């Protein structure tokens, strides 16, 4: 069976900001059947990788990650 992998890179203004996003996203990084998620910071870049057996599950995972990123972004603006 083939696996599908996606990598998201968020280029932020500082390592401190990357750390805020990391902590906000990392909470949701629980592995579940057929899907894995890893998150790491490299300088001011946050990288999130997810891999799954199912394109639908992977799409839902990416949608959730983007929703978390958007919620964090809106919170930081306030």
In tens, the pLDDT along 19-75 reads 999 988 876 566 677 888 889 999 999 999 999 999 998 998 899 899 999 999 998
Residue 78: predicted pLDDT: 53
Residue 2: predicted pLDDT: 82
pTM of the model: 0.81
Structural domains of the chain, count? 1
CATH of the domain at 58: 3.30.310.50
**E strands within the chain?**
4-11, 35-42, 45-52
Residue 25: predicted pLDDT: 85
Q: What whole-number distance in Å separates Cα of residue 58 and Cα of residue 52?
A: 6
Domain range for 17 = 4-77
Residue 34: predicted pLDDT: 81
Residue 7: predicted pLDDT: 96
């Amino acid at each position: 069976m083939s696996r599908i992998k996606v990598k998201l890179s968020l280029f932020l203004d500082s390592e401190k900001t990357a750390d805020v996003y990391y902590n906000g996203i990392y909470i949701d990084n629980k592995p579940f059947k057929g899907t894995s998620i890893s998150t790491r910071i490299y300088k001011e870049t946050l990288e999130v990788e997810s891999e799954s057996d199912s394109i639908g599950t992977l799409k839902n995972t990416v949608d959730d990650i983007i929703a978390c990123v958007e919620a964090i972004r809106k919170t930081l603006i306030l």
